[in-house]
Amino acid sequence: MLGIMVGVTTIIVIVSVIAGLDGMVAKEFSRMGTRVLYVGRHQWGGEFFWRSPRIGEKEMEALNRVSLAEYIVPYSENWGESISREGNDLTGIQIIGTTEDYHLVRELPIIKGRFFSGFEVEQGSRICVVGWDIYEKLFPGGEEPINEYIEVYGVPFRVIGVIEKQGNLLTNMSGMTSDYNIYIPLPVSTRLFGRWRGLKVMVSAPSEDLVEDLEDECRMMLRASRGLHPGDPDNFGINSQDFLLKNFRDATKYMWAALVGIAGLSLLVGGIGVMNIMLISVTERTREIGVRKALGAKRSNIMVQFLLEALMVCWIGGLIGALVGFFMAAIIAAISPLVFVFSWAAVFLGFAFTSMIGVFFGLYPAIKAARKNPVDALRYE
């Protein structure tokens, strides 16, 4: 029972935690926008060429002519920057230069203050919106951040907003976290960091049904703006969050299979224990088998009796293992950012495994018991 219990517990914990992780990651990726395309120099997952043309004003003019686009938001990412306030320095900050619609496309709720306006972007105002972690570190004790100043390379920026905490599950994954980001108007970012990095552009569709049509129109406009001929490969990338989500699910799929395989080995060991116990039981109850056969019990009656006993041992161990597994999964969810997900599939999988183990390892002792000669069995002991 203990071996079976450990195996089923492992299966329940693995399936519940991975299901919770999968749902949590899907939710995090949805913040990137399920209707959003990311236009840049490279295709995600493809070969990286430093000589690929940067996205610049010519490409922006082409994208601005896309009729299906709801929002067209250029942005530049500057990694590993340093900021300070009153002698308190922070490093490893990502500073994003963008326009007024960025927080709408990325679904970044403003918890304090506001995001900058289109007029402020055009004027190149030195203002910024900060992520939650930056706010907590530079303004400890709940100090009011609005209209206070932080410095980027000695240049003062006035804080006008704070973004609600987004969590750290996808920290630094594709540059899409916001808790450790600062957002400034794009013209200010260009003056501060230069144009050599080029731009990235978010293009959102009015609905998910139009995303593929939007991608086709964006590709057509960009190819025309760069003078590409039919048959020439794209020298730009049009990406979506589905690529990252698919990669994550592929990774967890193999991890899930490997961990369930480990749990299966534990069940296999438990099954061997069940078989040994049932063989001992058959030996100890040889006289009982002889009496039953003398009273008219058939081979099938004896075999079913011992097979059901083996299954009962496995089912009881499986039931205890399922309860312990859900309890452990709930504890893991309580002390970590993972979400606990009750999975009937995990219960079914656990009991399917235990039933197969019970039948497979209980069948040999049951057959051995059923084949005993009643005369020899009665003379045993």
pLDDT in tens, 282-294: 888 788 888 888 8
Percent of the chain with pLDDT over 70: 90
Query: Is 70 exceeded by the pLDDT of residue 138?
Result: yes
pLDDT at 335: 79
Q: Is the pLDDT of residue 33 over 70?
A: no
pLDDT at residue 49 in the model: 57
pLDDT at residue 122, rounded to an integer:
94
Mean pLDDT, residues 232-244: 82
Torsions phi, psi for 295 (to 5 deg) = -85, 5
Give pLDDT tens digits for 332-352: 777 776 666 777 777 787 778
Q: What percent of the chain has pLDDT over 90?
A: 29
- How much is the average pLDDT of 298-309? 85
Query: Rounded to whole angstroms, how far apart are CA atoms 264 and 258?
Result: 10
CB-based burial label for 34 (10 Å; 0-12, 13-18, 19+): middle
Per-residue model confidence (pLDDT) at position 72: 94
First to last CA, the chain: 29
Residue listed under structure tokens 């997952």: 45
Report the range of poorest mean pLDDT among 18-22, 27-31, 86-90, 245-249.
27-31
The half-sphere exposure of 258 on its side-chain side, counting CA atoms within 13 A, is: 6
Q: Is the pLDDT score of 215 beyond 80?
A: yes
16-27, pLDDT tens digit by residue?
A: 777 777 777 766
Residue-wise pLDDT for 168-184, tens only, equals 554 444 444 678 899 99
Distances (CA, A) of 321 to 3, 11, 83, 329: 9, 9, 52, 12
Flag whether the pTM goes above 0.85: no
pLDDT of residue 337: 66
The more confidently predicted of residues 42 and 219 is 219
- Look over the chain and give the mean of its residue pLDDT values, rounded to a whole number: 83
Q: What is the pLDDT of residues 179-206, one digit of tens each?
A: 889 999 999 999 998 877 789 999 999 8
pLDDT at 248 exceeding the cut of 80 = no
Residue 380 CA: distances (Å) to CA of 118, 157, 280, 375, 376: 96, 94, 14, 9, 6
Cα–Cα distance for residue pair 182/159, rounded to 1 Å:
10
Which band of pLDDT confidence, cut at 50, 70 and 90, is reported for residue 130?
very high
Beta bridge partners of 156: 151
Q: Report residue 135's pLDDT band, with 50, 70 and 90 as the boundaries.
A: very high
What confidence score (pLDDT) does residue 87 get? 83
Instruction: Look at 29-33, 40-44, 128-132, 235-239 and tell me which has the smallest mean pLDDT.
Output: 29-33
CA pair distance 340, 311, nearest whole angstrom: 30
